[in-house]
A and B are shown apart, each in its own frame.
Chain A
Amino acid sequence: MEERRQFPIANAQPRGRRPLGCAAMLMIAAIAARAEASGFATARFSGEHSTAADGTPGAIYYNPAALSLLDGQHLMIDATIALRTASYRRAPDSIDPSTLDTAEQAGLDRQQAVDALAGESSLDNIVVLPFVGVVSDLGMAGSPVRVGAAFFIPFGGQSSWDEASASESFPGAQDGSARWYNIDGTIRSMAGAIGGSYRIDSLRLSFGVAGNLYFSDVDTLRARNANGTDDLVSADGSLLEGRSWLDVSGIHFGLGAGVLWEPLRDQLWVGASYQSQPGFGAMEMSGKLSNTLGSSQPAPPVDVVYSQELPDIVRLGVRGRPWPEVELRVAADWTLWSRMGQMCLAVEGVGDLEQACATRDDGSLVDSQHAADIVQVFQRRWDDGFGARLSGSYFFWGDALELYAGLGFDSNAIPDSTLDPALYDMDKYSFSLGATYRMSEHLALSLTLIEVLYLERDTRGQAGNEALELPSRQPANAGLYQQNTFLIQPAIQVSL
Chain B
Amino acid sequence: MRGALVCGALLGPSSLSACVDPGDRYDAFLERTAEMRNRDSGMVEPTDRFDWSGRYLLALSTVLAPDQPLLFAVEAEVSSDLSLIDLQLQPLATDGDEEPRTAIGDSFGVNDIPYEMDGSFSADLGEVTVPGRANPITGSEIVASVQLSASTRAGDDDNADLFCGQVTGMVIQPLSYDLAGSTFGAVLTDDAQNAAPQLRCPR
Interface residues of chain A, those whose CB is within 8 Å of chain B, are 79, 102, 124-130, 153, 158-160, 162-164, 171-172, 174-175, 183-186, 188, 190, 215, 217, 219-221, 225-228, 231, 234-236, 238-240, 243, 245, 247, 289-300, 302, 347, 368, 371-375, 470-471
> For the complex, what is the distance from the CA of A289 to the CA of B179, rounded to whole Å?
18
For this complex, into which size category does the number of interface residues on chain B fall? 35 or more
Closest chain A residue to B68, Cβ basis: A227
> For the complex, what is the distance from the CA of A219 to the CA of B20, rounded to whole Å?
9
Q: Which of A129, A231, A297, A347 contacts B9 (CB 8 A)?
A: A129
Q: Is A292's CB under 8 angstroms from B30's CB?
A: yes
Question: Which chain B residues lie closer than 8 Å to A235 at the CB level?
Answer: 66-67
27 contacts between A and B (CB under 8 A): A128-B7, A130-B9, A130-B10, A153-B16, A158-B20, A172-B33, A174-B32, A183-B25, A184-B20, A184-B21, A184-B22, A186-B16, A221-B22, A227-B65, A243-B30, A245-B22, A289-B175, A292-B26, A292-B30, A296-B37, A296-B62, A296-B179, A297-B178, A299-B177, A347-B175, A371-B174, A372-B132
Interface residues of chain B, those whose CB is within 8 Å of chain A, are 1-10, 13, 16-17, 19-26, 29-30, 32-33, 36-37, 39, 62-68, 132, 137-143, 173-181, 199-200
Q: Is A239's CB under 8 angstroms from B36's CB?
A: yes
Query: Given A184-B21, A291-B175, A296-B64, A372–B140 Cβ distance below 8 Å?
Result: yes
Q: Is A297's CB under 8 angstroms from B180's CB?
A: yes
Question: Which chain A residues lie closer than 8 Å to B177 at the CB level?
Answer: 291, 293, 296, 299
The binding surface of chain B is classed by DSSP as loop
Question: Which chain A residues lie closer than 8 Å to B2 at the CB level?
Answer: 160, 162-163
Query: Given A158-B20, A291-B177, A299-B175, A226–B25 Cβ distance below 8 Å?
Result: no
Closest chain A residue to B22, Cβ basis: A221
Query: Given A160-B2, A185-B22, A296-B178, A240–B36 Cβ distance below 8 Å?
Result: no
> For the complex, what is the distance from the CA of A153 to the CA of B200, rounded to whole Å?
53
> Taking the nearest CB of chain A, how far is it from the CB of B68, in angstroms?
7
Question: Which chain A residues lie closer than 8 Å to B181 at the CB level?
Answer: 295-297
Q: Is A371's CB under 8 angstroms from B22's CB?
A: no
Q: Is B29's CB under 8 angstroms from A125's CB?
A: no
> Taking the nearest CB of chain B, how far is it from the CB of A368, in angstroms?
7
Supply 19 further A-B pairs (C-beta < 8 A) apart from A125-B7, A227-B65: A124-B4, A126-B4, A127-B7, A128-B6, A128-B9, A130-B10, A158-B16, A158-B20, A159-B20, A234-B67, A236-B66, A238-B66, A296-B177, A296-B179, A298-B178, A371-B140, A371-B174, A374-B174, A375-B175
